[in-house]
């Protein structure tokens, strides 16, 4: 028995050492501009649903994690060239992205995307409208495919500003992002029409990083199993639970 | 920051502003001004050094050195800054990592490019992936300084090249008549006199360099433009103690005033340097000073 304990300890130790070589610190890349998923709080720290989720996942997988922010536009190239090790930035799992990077299992249900228009313009026909979306998002490709006129912006903030400035008729984005904005701003209104696009949000990792992906996958599964993920989703009003 | 900031929603205007402007996020903005000034303070002398070497190389009597100097100035001057910045920072980073990889992990057999991934061994990463976040920031900042220096060094090289040719040939011939070697006439006659011809061009470059600092934002460094955009964006009550509408315009106005003020100060300082340099020179400026005295 004692021998068995010792061997396990030795095994764990060597595994730990081998692991320390590749990922003693896991750098978590996020955008920091997409509340409630991720944003910079008043003290200048990354906060939001994904911050709490990521910290919990790292604790469960026994990893030391560090948060870094990166522009949405270059978030995949910088992952691939190794500036950080994961993308945890409200990124929906799509086939196009999956060709370039790998995803863990989804940690949110597919969240319907919603349209937000200026108040009083609720009768808008989105098929013929000018619609704003953040560049390289599932919403942007959806609008392009639908045949409406698309204007793209680098940040989600600018897409909403475009509607307020009259530059676009509507903005299409994740409902969880738009809901608190509409709630706080009487000049904006949400359409009843929603679009179910994307396969839920997952963590992005380099394709060559299978070990790390497996660790996060297991951690997400354990959070799904014990209900802590649902609690987080409810707390941040992300959408459907598991 | 202040003791009364615990519940901002109850505060009067003035106190609210005082609390708002001292949040951790705003401190990051103020800190970013320091980053920009530091970038200028480090980049300017290095770029001038690059420029001096480029100009001397371009004047060299040794052909390969001359080609190098001329090639450097014409290539860098011909490529748009933004393209150069975006390309160079990634390329430089990967080049450094590749060299370290070859040196530190000679027995690594996997290919470095696997599909889209650029993979070097863990020891070759720059900075090491377990390094502290500030090291990552310093590394990114150094890459930015190097890139800025290379770009602005090329422009400086062209200015200095012209300035060296503007020093009257007779001055150099006089030095030669006194028995000075080429090296001596270069260092004792040409270099001290060329600055007066170089300064208008160099001061122009300095202004352009100040205005180019927001490019830091493109290089992923959280500079003043990043924080102004982040702070100015609409803040909904759920995610902040200080909700407000779209204030980006005011933040950018503040940046505008900052840059205008900074360039104005630079102009005043450069004018004084010019006054000193023209003193006693055989140029129209120097002549005017002599007559006024």
Q: From residue B122, give the alpha-carbon distance in Å to each of A28, B57, B134, B136.
A: 17, 39, 19, 15
Domain count, chain B: 1
**Numbered ranges of CATH 3.40.190.10 in chain A:** 22-109+200-236, 113-195
User: Does any CB of chain A come closer than 8 Å to the CB of residue B230?
Assistant: yes
pLDDT at residue number A242: 82
Q: From residue A153, give the alpha-carbon distance in Å to each of A32, A131, A132, A173.
A: 16, 11, 7, 12
- Whether A226 shows a pLDDT value over 80: the answer reads yes
Selecting from B116, B233, B238 the residue whose C-beta is nearest the C-beta of A100 gives B116
Asked if the Cβ–Cβ distance from A208 to B24 is below 8 Å, we say: no
State the architecture of A113-195 in CATH terms: 3-Layer(aba) Sandwich (3.40)
**Bond from prior residue into B112 cis (ω within 30 degrees of 0):** no
Q: Write out chain B residues lying below 8 Å of A155, CB-based.
A: 229, 233
Per-residue pLDDT tens listing for chain B (293 residues): 677 777 777 777 888 888 888 888 999 999 999 999 999 999 999 999 999 999 999 999 899 999 999 999 999 989 888 888 888 887 888 888 888 888 888 877 777 777 767 778 777 877 877 777 788 888 889 989 999 999 999 999 999 999 999 999 999 999 999 999 999 999 999 999 899 999 999 999 999 999 999 888 777 788 898 899 889 888 888 888 888 888 989 999 999 999 999 999 999 999 999 998 888 877 778 888 888 87
Per the structure, the complete domain to which residue B259 belongs is given by 3-70+153-292
**Alpha carbon of A137: minimum distance to chain B alpha carbons (Å):** 20
pLDDT at residue number A111: 80
Cα–Cα distance measured from residue A89 to residue A92, given in angstroms and rounded to the nearest whole number: 9
User: At A16, is the pLDDT very low, low, confident or very high (cuts 50, 70, 90)?
Assistant: very low
A52, A11 contact by CB (below 8 A): no
Asked if the Cβ–Cβ distance from A36 to B129 is below 8 Å, we say: no
Q: Write out chain B residues lying below 8 Å of A70, CB-based.
A: 220
Cα–Cα distance measured from residue A86 to residue A63, given in angstroms and rounded to the nearest whole number: 13
Q: Is residue B76 part of a domain?
A: no
Q: What is the average pLDDT score of chain A?
A: 86
pLDDT digits (tens, 9 = 90+) for A148-168: 899 999 989 899 999 998 999
Asked if the Cβ–Cβ distance from B234 to A82 is below 8 Å, we say: no
pLDDT at residue number A112: 86
> First CA to last CA across chain A, in angstroms?
41
pLDDT at residue number A20: 40
pLDDT at residue number B161: 95
pLDDT at residue number A55: 95
Asked if the Cβ–Cβ distance from A74 to B220 is below 8 Å, we say: yes
Q: Is residue B122 part of a domain?
A: no
Of the candidate ranges A15-19, A130-134, A138-142, A196-200, the one whose mean pLDDT is the lowest: A15-19
What's the average model confidence in pLDDT over A93-119? 91
- The CATH code that applies to domain A22-109+200-236 is 3.40.190.10
CA-based nearest residue in chain B for residue A164:
B246
ipTM comes to 0.77
pLDDT digits (tens, 9 = 90+) for A47-75: 999 999 999 999 999 999 999 988 888 89
Q: Write out chain B residues lying below 8 Å of A21, CB-based.
A: 122
CATH, residue B200: 1.10.3720.10
Q: Is residue B272 part of a domain?
A: yes
């Amino acid at each position: 028995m004692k021998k068995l304990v010792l061997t396990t300890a030795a095994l764990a130790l060597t595994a730990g050492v081998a692991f320390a070589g590749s990922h003693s610190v896991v750098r978590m890349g996020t955008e920091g501009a997409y509340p409630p998923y991720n944003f910079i709080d008043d003290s200048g720290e990354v906060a939001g649903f994904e911050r709490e989720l990521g910290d919990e996942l790292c604790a469960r997988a026994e990893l030391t994690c560090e948060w870094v922010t990166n522009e949405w536009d270059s978030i995949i190239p910088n992952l691939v060239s190794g500036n950080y090790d994961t993308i945890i930035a409200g990124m929906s799992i799509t086939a196009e992205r999956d060709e370039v990077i790998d995803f863990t299992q989804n940690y949110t249900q597919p969240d319907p995307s919603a349209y937000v228009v200026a108040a009083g313009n609720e009768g808008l026909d989105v098929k013929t409208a000018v619609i704003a979306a953040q560049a390289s998002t599932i919403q942007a490709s959806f609008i392009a495919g639908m045949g409406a006129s698309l204007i793209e912006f680098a940040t989600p903030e600018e897409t909403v500003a475009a509607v307020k400035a009259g530059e676009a008729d509507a903005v299409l984005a994740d409902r969880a992002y738009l809901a608190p904005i509409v709630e706080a701003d009487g000049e904006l209104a949400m359409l009843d029409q929603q679009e179910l696009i994307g396969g839920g949000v997952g963590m992005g990792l380099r394709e060559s990083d299978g070990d790390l992906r497996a660790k996060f996958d297991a951690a997400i599964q354990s959070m799904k199993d014990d209900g802590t993920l649902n609690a987080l989703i409810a707390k941040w009003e992300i959408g459907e639970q598991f | 920051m202040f003791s009364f900031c615990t519940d901002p929603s109850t505060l009067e205007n003035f106190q609210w502003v005082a609390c708002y402007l001292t949040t951790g996020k705003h401190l990051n903005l103020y800190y970013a001004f320091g980053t920009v000034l530091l970038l200028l303070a480090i980049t300017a002398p290095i770029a001038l050094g690059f420029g001096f070497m480029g100009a001397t190389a371009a004047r060299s009597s040794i052909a390969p050195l001359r080609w190098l100097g001329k090639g450097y100035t014409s290539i860098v001057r011909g490529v748009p800054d933004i393209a150069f910045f975006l390309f160079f920072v990634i390329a430089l980073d990967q080049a450094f990592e590749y060299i370290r990889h070859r040196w530190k992990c000679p027995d690594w057999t996997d290919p470095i490019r696997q599909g889209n991934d650029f993979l070097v061994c863990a020891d070759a990463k720059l900075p090491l992936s377990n390094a502290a976040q500030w090291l990552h920031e310093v590394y990114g900042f150094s890459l930015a300084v190097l890139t800025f220096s290379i770009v602005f060094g090329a422009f400086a090289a062209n200015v200095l090249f012209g300035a060296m040719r503007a020093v009257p040939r007779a001055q150099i011939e006089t030095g030669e008549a006194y028995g000075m070697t080429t090296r001596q006439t270069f260092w004792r006659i040409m270099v001290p006199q060329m600055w007066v011809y170089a300064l208008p061009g160099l001061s122009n470059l300095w202004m352009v360099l100040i205005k180019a600092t927001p490019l830091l934002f493109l290089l992923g460094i959280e500079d003043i433009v990043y924080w102004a955009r982040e702070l100015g964006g609409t803040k909904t009550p759920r995610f902040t103690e200080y909700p407000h509408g779209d204030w980006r315009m005011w933040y950018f106005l503040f940046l505008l005033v900052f840059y205008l003020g900074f360039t104005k100060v630079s102009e005043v300082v450069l004018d004084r340097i010019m006054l000193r340099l023209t003193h006693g020179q055989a140029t129209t400026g120097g002549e005017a000073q002599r007559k006024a005295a």
